[in-house]
């Protein structure tokens, strides 16, 4: 498989890149820091004996970088079977309420700009005859929840976009996979108390690769979060107001 990963230099994206390289897939890395990209590409080449791993700057804060980065990936890989988007921004509800600049940045990156990137990738995947678009959303978007009012809103919007896109494009050969991680121990969640069923990036990477190979439209990972959110989605509003989940 030829795959491009946006957000491959840390956390779940890095774990997925290592897993895919170990299984012999060809990769092209996208991220916003050239030094980190270069270091990750060299690491993959050294660990798994891969051919030179290509990379290019692509910053979800800067939509102007999207087209050039995607064109470069297609130029190096020839055909791109999977475009994976793991990048995004998380911050606590308190900090977002107190800092409008951070809030505006998160709203843009997690929703508007992620969708703009997906639309750029969508047109290129359709032009080559199909492929898979795999995007990380979150369980935070499944239900309006007090601890993540603002972050959850961005992921709810993104999840609905991905579901509709899958409905519209699967018949045309474009498969859309929406990943909904629960709490995963990465740099993004450093300093937060891990809840029950907290996962590791490596186990999430295995679930993501399996979903891409099978074309699963929605995947909860770690798996117990699927059952947790099944229950949460069915709770009446008066109970949601009482609990702090």
Q: If residue 116 lies in a helix (H) or strand (E), which one and from where to where?
A: helix 114-127
Nearest CA to 65 out of 109, 129, 18 is that of 109
Predicted confidence at residue 118, as pLDDT, reads 98
Regions in the chain scoring below 50 on pLDDT: none
Report whether 114 contacts 129 (CB < 8 A). Answer: no
Peptide bond into 83 cis (omega under 30): no
CA distances for 34 relative to 3, 39, 64, angstroms: 19, 9, 16
Token pair 């900090």: residue: 95
Give the model confidence (pLDDT) of 178-209 as tens digits: 999 987 777 766 667 777 777 788 999 999 99
Q: What is the pLDDT of residue 52?
A: 82
Tens of pLDDT, residues 129-145 = 999 999 999 999 999 99
Identify the pLDDT of residue 143. 95
Q: What is the pLDDT of residue 155?
A: 97
């Amino acid at each position: 498989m030829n795959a491009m990963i946006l957000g491959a230099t840390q956390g779940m994206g890095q774990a997925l890149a290592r897993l895919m390289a170990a299984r012999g897939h060809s990769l092209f890395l996208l991220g916003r820091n050239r030094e980190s990209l270069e270091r990750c590409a060299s690491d993959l080449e050294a660990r798994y004996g891969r051919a030179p791993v290509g990379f290019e700057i692509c910053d979800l804060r800067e939509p102007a970088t999207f087209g050039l980065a995607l064109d470069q990936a297609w130029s190096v890989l020839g055909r791109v079977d999977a475009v994976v988007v793991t990048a995004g921004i998380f911050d606590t509800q308190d900090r977002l309420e107190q800092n409008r600049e951070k809030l505006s940045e998160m709203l843009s990156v997690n929703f508007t700009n992620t969708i703009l990137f997906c639309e750029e990738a969508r047109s290129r995947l359709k032009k080559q005859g199909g492929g898979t678009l795999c995007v990380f959303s979150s369980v935070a978007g499944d239900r309006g929840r007090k601890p993540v009012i603002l972050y959850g809103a961005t992921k709810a919007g993104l999840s609905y976009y991905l579901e509709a896109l899958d409905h519209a494009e699967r018949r045309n050969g474009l498969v859309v996979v929406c990943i909904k991680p629960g709490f995963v121990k990465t740099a993004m969640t450093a300093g937060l108390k891990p809840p029950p069923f907290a996962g590791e990036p490596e186990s999430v990477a295995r679930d993501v690769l399996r979903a891409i190979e099978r074309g699963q439209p929605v995947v909860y990972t770690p798996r117990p979060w699927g059952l947790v959110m099944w229950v949460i989605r069915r709770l009446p509003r008066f109970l949601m107001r009482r609990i702090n989940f």
